[in-house]
Chains A and B, each alone.
Chain A
């Protein structure tokens, strides 16, 4: 059974700092991995999706990397801003034919202090 862990559960940084969020998964047979952000009282917003054949994806100040062999993904946020404050979740989709259930991590709650 796939297990997805995100450490730390919470993180507080001063504005302008570069930071890294971690996502670990136990089964490396994955199809893709997706990073989401969730604002309080809101649904999930997709940030980046990395296919298993890719090493990284970039969008603006965000860069997500994937190392399947070690079962790890990182989300790098450059020059953090107060608007980045949210909970960040990773989700892993396994390999296999037909339907495969996505497993979500428990999230990292980020606070960027002005």
Chain B
């Protein structure tokens, strides 16, 4: 298995632009997590999907952030409009059987908003 796949790996954009991050979970996994990692705040859960349904989006910082999971093999995290403070590494992780089981992380997308 190729593991969790994220694209792009690096994204540089200007403030105010829309940014879309993509994730393909491991085949057969039914839970998907989006995390954000910064030096100041460490690793934070943004949103958790189970069977394509958002279960917990309490970590989404504000309305500029949105996430979708149209099917079991694809999810997006969108920021519109982007701001410099959104600069971080965004990770996608997947697991089988919900949040209690081992999560497998993707390589992350490093986002820089100028």
Chain A residues in the interface with B (C-beta under 8 A): 31-32, 34, 36, 41-46, 49, 89, 93, 99-102, 104-107
The SS class assigned to the B binding surface is: strand
Q: Give the docked Cα–Cα distance between A107 and B42 (Å).
A: 8
Q: Is the CB of B91 within 8 A of A99?
A: no
Residues of B within 8 A of A (CB): 4, 42-45, 48, 50, 55-56, 58-59, 91, 93, 98-100, 102-108, 110
Which residues of the partner chain B approach A31 to less than 8 Å between Cβ atoms?
A: 100
Q: Which of A36, A101, A104 contacts B42 (CB 8 A)?
A: A104
Q: Are B56 and A45 closer than 8 Å at their CB atoms?
A: no
In the bound complex, CA of A43 to CA of B5 (Å): 11
Tell whether, in the assembled complex, residue B91 and residue A43 are in contact, meaning their CB atoms are under 8 Å apart.
yes
Are B42 and A43 in contact (CB-based, < 8 A)? no
Structural contact, B99 and A102, CB atoms closer than 8 A: yes
